[in-house]
């Protein structure tokens, strides 16, 4: 009997075994497939990466840490970073040299000096700074300024060359703000220095050297600004008109109060700046002669709620209270 005939004779038995094994193989295949599917990461846990299409010639910019003192400008070019300016505890001067170098000098609170009609604002160095600024003024305008530091130069301006300086109006405490906007000060060799600052100057009553020895005359403007006028010299009789006299009381800051007294000794005119009153409108204003009848020096002027106004500007007005003595002249 050939081997082929033997196979055909035993075929029913082989087919039986195959039929028995097929279910087992199917179960194994299902189990393996399930395990493989469970081992795959879920779509929610796979981070999506957006890839922008790039051409073959597009370069990819790689960000690298920059060295200290280097910044990236708008064009992507590395450039030296500007040094940070210090924060000053009191006041500051911003300086720009002829070469464009920016500096900040810290200065102390403003000190005021008075010599006749000339008022000086002095800003002295504070901390590690070494710059000193002095601004001289008269009649409410800047007449000269100097900026100096040991070994670093002396820069000045005078009269019309002091453009950029301005003195603000008084605040409610009588103080002022001195504003410097890119003023140009020159050294002897022609080198320029640009100066910018906003400086506070206290009121006269807040400065021991300028405060009135007596109460003085408080002039309160409608805006709330306060001026305390105490004559420091330069007063006297400025005009005689048929036994009517006009007296001048000049304060340390250059403000002048004019008081007219008629032949009967009554005050009939008061003026300070553009504000004035005449006749009966000067109620509350009185005067008494001094101890020496032969001299007008020592004459006292007193005010109690006297109102002066500016007829041209409408709402401008001020209220006067207090007293002052005419100084020797």
Q: What is the pLDDT of residues 224-272, one digit of tens each?
A: 888 888 876 555 676 676 778 899 888 776 788 999 999 889 999 999 9
More confident residue, 263 or 185: 185
For the cut 50, the answer to whether the pLDDT of residue 62 exceeds it is no
Q: Is 43 helix (H, G, I), strand (E, B) or coil?
A: helix
With bands split at pLDDT 50, 70 and 90, how would you rate the model's confidence at 46?
very low
The answer for residues whose C-beta is within 8 angstroms of residue 122's C-beta and 6 or more apart is 110, 111, 112, 113, 132, 133, 134
Tell me how far apart the alpha carbons of residues 161 and 151 are, in angstroms, rounded to a whole number: 24
Q: What average pLDDT does the structure give for the chain?
A: 79
Contact (Cβ atoms closer than 8 angstroms) between residue 66 and residue 72: yes
Q: Percent of the chain scored above 70 by pLDDT?
A: 69
In this structure, the number of other CB atoms found within 10 A of the CB of residue 83 comes to 11
Which two tokens mark 110?
């403003």
pLDDT of residue 72: 56
Q: How far apart are CA 203 and CA 215, in angstroms?
A: 14
> CA-to-CA distance for 261 and 254, rounded, in angstroms?
22
87-105 tens-digit pLDDT: 999 999 999 998 999 999 9
Residue scoring higher pLDDT (229 or 133): 133
| Band (323; pLDDT cuts 50, 70, 90) | very high
pLDDT at 16: 62
| CA dist., res. 266 & res. 107, Å (int) | 50
Backbone angles phi, psi at 150, to 5 degrees: -60, 125
Backbone phi and psi for residue 24, each to the nearest 5 degrees, phi listed first: -65, -45
Model confidence at 320: pLDDT above 90: yes
Q: Which of 288, 287, 250 is nearest to 272 (CA)?
A: 250
Determine the Cα–Cα distance for residues 8 and 218; give it in Å rounded to an integer: 137
The H or E element that residue 285 is part of is strand 285-288
Q: Check residue 229 and give its pLDDT.
A: 85
Using DSSP's 3-state secondary structure scheme, residue 141 falls into: strand
């Amino acid at each position: 009997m050939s081997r082929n005939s033997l196979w055909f004779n035993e075929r029913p038995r082989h087919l039986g075994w195959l039929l028995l094994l097929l279910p087992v193989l199917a179960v194994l295949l299902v189990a393996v497939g399930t395990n493989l599917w469970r081992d795959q990461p879920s779509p929610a846990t796979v981070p999506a990466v957006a890839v922008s299409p790039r051409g073959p010639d597009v370069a990819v910019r790689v960000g690298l840490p920059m060295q200290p003192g280097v910044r990236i400008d708008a064009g992507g070019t590395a450039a030296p970073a500007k040094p940070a300016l210090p924060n000053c505890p009191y006041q500051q001067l911003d300086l720009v040299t002829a070469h464009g170098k920016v500096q900040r000098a810290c200065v102390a609170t403003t000190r005021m000096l008075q010599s006749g009609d000339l008022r000086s604002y002095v800003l002295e160095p504070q901390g590690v700074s070494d710059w000193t600024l002095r601004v001289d003024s008269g009649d409410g305008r800047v007449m000269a300024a100097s900026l100096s530091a040991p070994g670093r130069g002396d820069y000045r301006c005078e009269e019309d060359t002091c453009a950029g300086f301005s003195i603000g109006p008084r605040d409610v405490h009588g103080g002022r703000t001195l504003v410097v906007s890119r003023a140009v000060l020159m050294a002897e060799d022609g080198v320029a220095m640009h100066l910018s600052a906003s400086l506070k100057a206290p009121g006269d009553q807040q400065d021991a050297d300028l405060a009135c020895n007596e109460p003085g005359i408080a002039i309160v403007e409608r805006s709330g600004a306060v001026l305390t006028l105490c004559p420091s010299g330069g007063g006297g009789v400025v005009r005689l008109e048929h036994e009517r006299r006009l007296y001048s009381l000049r304060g340390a800051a250059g403000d002048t109060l004019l008081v007219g007294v008629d032949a009967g000794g009554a005050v009939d005119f008061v003026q300070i700046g553009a504000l004035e009153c005449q006749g009966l409108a000067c109620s509350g204003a009185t005067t008494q002669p001094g101890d020496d009848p032969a001299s007008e020096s020592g004459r006292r002027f007193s005010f109690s709620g006297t109102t002066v106004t500016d007829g041209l500007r409408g709402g401008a007005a001020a209220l006067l209270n207090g007293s002052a003595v005419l100084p020797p002249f």
